[in-house]
Amino acid sequence: MGQIATEDFQVIDSCLLIQLPEEIDHHGAGFICECADRYLVREDVRDVVFDFGRTRFMDSSGIGIIMGRYRKISCFGGRVYAIHVDRQIERIFRLSGLNKIVEVLES
Amino acid sequence: MRNEMEIIFDALSDNEGFARVAVAAFIAHLNPTLEEMADIKTAVSEAVTNSIIHGYENLQGYGRPGGKEEGIHKPNPGKVRLCCALEKNILSIEVIDSGKGIEDVERAMEPLYTSKPELERSGMGFAFMEAFMDDLEVESAPGQGTKVRMIKKIGVGGWIEHQC
């Protein structure tokens, strides 16, 4: 099952694009957070875009990933976006109140 | 007709995916909707993750593929017991561990409360179980382990269609 790899992180302009794996649970969350934070520190990143295009499953660990990154960039005026969000993931966003801090972009 | 299954597995984060897929396979013959399937998988994932990282405090590995920091592997990670029973179209799931237990169950169930903020988890585990299942009961005491019992009726969508 698709583990996340370093190719899934990309910095375009001042935006970090993260291609999320097929399943987002606690097991893989630590690695995603760690990689993302490495980019946030090293590169000149302002905003973060989470791409859910491949994602078929997510539990509350996904909320933790997004909230944690939001805390790190929001004090510098950065924003968090989500793309390719399906119905189930949108439900999880709504349920957790995450839709207030994440802007879901229709693509 | 009643149908039961029980699996016991090591409390390792590698088994989170296994646990939810096992439950999904167990109920597959009922033709649940995609949404019901996702709800159940999420609830199982939350309960099993809680047992692993809170009940047994197994934080090693943490999903680093080929990672250099595999962490300290406990020789005895503890076991999680997952019991499912189907009675017609009512699914009950029990996730049982004999870990350290919860001191204040009510507090643990509050949305956004987490006893391990350093793990960057959301504190939404119990809130998700409650939202995605029809019923949730938590039995726990310090040193006594934790038992989470969840119930969900499957195929409610189909039943409504039938009535119309």
Beta partners for residue B151, in sequence order: B92, B135
Q: What local confidence, expressed as pLDDT, does residue A3 receive? A: 67
What domains sit in chain B, N to C, each tagged with a CATH number? 2-64+76-163 (3.30.565.10)
Q: Report the C-alpha gap between B10 and B15 in whole angstroms.
A: 7
Whether residues A31 and B65 touch (CB distance < 8 A) is answered with yes
Distances (CA, A) of B159 to B37, B85, B89, B156, B163: 16, 21, 11, 5, 6
Question: What residues contact A83, with CB distance under 8 A and at least 6 apart?
Answer: A49, A50, A51, A52, A53, A104, A105, A107
Beta partners for residue B8, in sequence order: B81
Question: What residues contact B66, with CB distance under 8 A and at least 6 apart?
Answer: none
Please state which architecture CATH assigns to domain A6-105: 2-Layer Sandwich (3.30)
Q: Which of B34, B63, B124 sits opposite A27 (nearest CB)?
A: B63
Task: State the nearest Cα–Cα gap between A81 and chain B, in angstroms.
Answer: 18
| Angle in degrees, CA A29, A33, A35, rounded to 5 | 115
Which residue is closest to A29 within chain B, CA to CA? B63
- Quick one: CA torsion of B29, B31, B35, B39, rounded to 10 degrees? -30
Q: What is the pTM of this model?
A: 0.89
Which residue is closest to A31 within chain B, CA to CA? B64
> In 3-state terms, what secondary structure has residue A99?
helix
Length of chain A: 107
Tens-binned pLDDT, residue by residue, of chain B (164 aa): 899 999 999 999 999 999 999 999 999 999 999 999 999 999 999 999 999 999 999 886 454 444 444 555 667 889 999 999 999 999 999 999 999 999 999 999 999 899 988 888 889 999 999 999 999 999 999 999 999 999 999 987 655 555 55
Verify whether residue B50 is a known catalytic residue. yes
